[in-house]
Amino acid sequence: MSFRASVLTLYPEMFPGHLGLSLSGKALARGDWSLETVQIRDFATDRHRTVDDTPAGGGAGMVLKPDVLARAIDHASAGDDRPRLLMSPRGKPLTQQRVRELAACNGAIIVCGRFEGIDQRVIDARGLEEVSIGDYILSGGEPAAMVLLDAIVRILPGVMGNELSGVHESFEDGLLEHPHYTRPQNWEGRDIPPVLTSGNHREIEKWRLAEARRLTAERRPDLLSDQPVTK
C-alpha cells in the first residue's frame, strides 16, 4: 500500500512544489506515494467563504475557525486512521525517529495553519499532533509540510536508488554525518584524507565514525547524551 498524504491548506497551488521533482517526483509519478490537497475554504458555509475570525479576548491577527477546519479534517480522514498532524512552531520538534515512524504508516493528514493560528478546540477535538520543524516562524504551514513530506518520502521503500544512502546520514544513528570527499585527489592544496584512499574498509569505517562523533561533539553536543565521545 502506498503512502497517502492529504494536505489541508488555503493555498493548494503551492503543492507539490519541489516534491514533484527529483526522487520524490519520480516516486509520485510511479504511485509509490500520493498527494491530495484539500482547500480549507471549500468547507466554509457563508457566501464569503469565511475561514477566520478575530481572536477571543482581543489581540492582533485572525484565527482559523474550528467549525470550518473540522469539516475539512473530517472530509480528509473519512474512513481511515492516518495520523493527523498540525504544522506548528509550538509543536514537538521533528526528529528522524518520528519521520521513520510516520513513513511506516499508511499516510498522514497534514494541516497547514495560517494567520495567528487555529482554534484550540479543533486541535483537541480532532486529536491533532503538533509538529515543529524548528524554532522560527514561517508565513504558514505549507513550507513546513513540504519539509516533513520530503523527509518521509525519501525513506519510503524503493524511492532512493541506493538504499545505503539512507543509512549513513546525519541523525540516522544519532550522530551528524561524517565529511565527504571526491576527486580530484588534491584541490587548491587540500588533499583527501589518506585513509579514504587506503582501501582498508575497516579503517575507513573507524575514521568515519570518529569524525561523526567529533563533529557532533562540536556542533550538536545535545545529541551525545547517550553516546561515548572520541576525538
Q: What is the DSSP letter of 118?
A: B
Better-predicted residue by pLDDT, 164 or 214: 214
Fold of 3-153: Alpha/beta knot (3.40.1280)
The overall average pLDDT reported for the chain is: 93
Q: Is the pLDDT of residue 203 over 70?
A: yes
Count Cβ neighbours within 10 Å for each residue of 177-211 and write b for 16 or more, e otherwise: bbeeeeeeeeeeeeeeeeebeeeeeeebeebbeeb
Q: Is the pLDDT of residue 227 over 80?
A: no
Cβ-contact 3, 9 below 8 angstroms: no
Domain 168-224, CATH: 1.10.1270.20
All CATH 3.40.1280.10 domain ranges of the chain, comma separated, are 3-153
pLDDT tens by residue, 139-184: 999 999 999 999 999 999 999 865 545 555 556 678 999 999 999 9
pLDDT tens by residue, 81-111: 999 999 999 999 999 999 999 999 999 999 9
Q: For the chain, how big is the Rg over CA atoms in Å?
A: 22
Q: What is the DSSP letter of 130?
A: E
Percent of the chain past pLDDT 90, that is, above it, reads 89
pLDDT of residue 164: 46
All CATH 1.10.1270.20 domain ranges of the chain, comma separated, are 168-224
pLDDT of residue 27: 97
HSE of 75 in the Cβ direction (CA atoms, 13 Å)?
A: 19
Strand partners, 33: 3
Residues ≥6 apart with Cβ < 8 Å to 110? 5, 6, 7, 8, 85, 86, 87, 141, 145, 148, 149
pLDDT of residue 231: 46
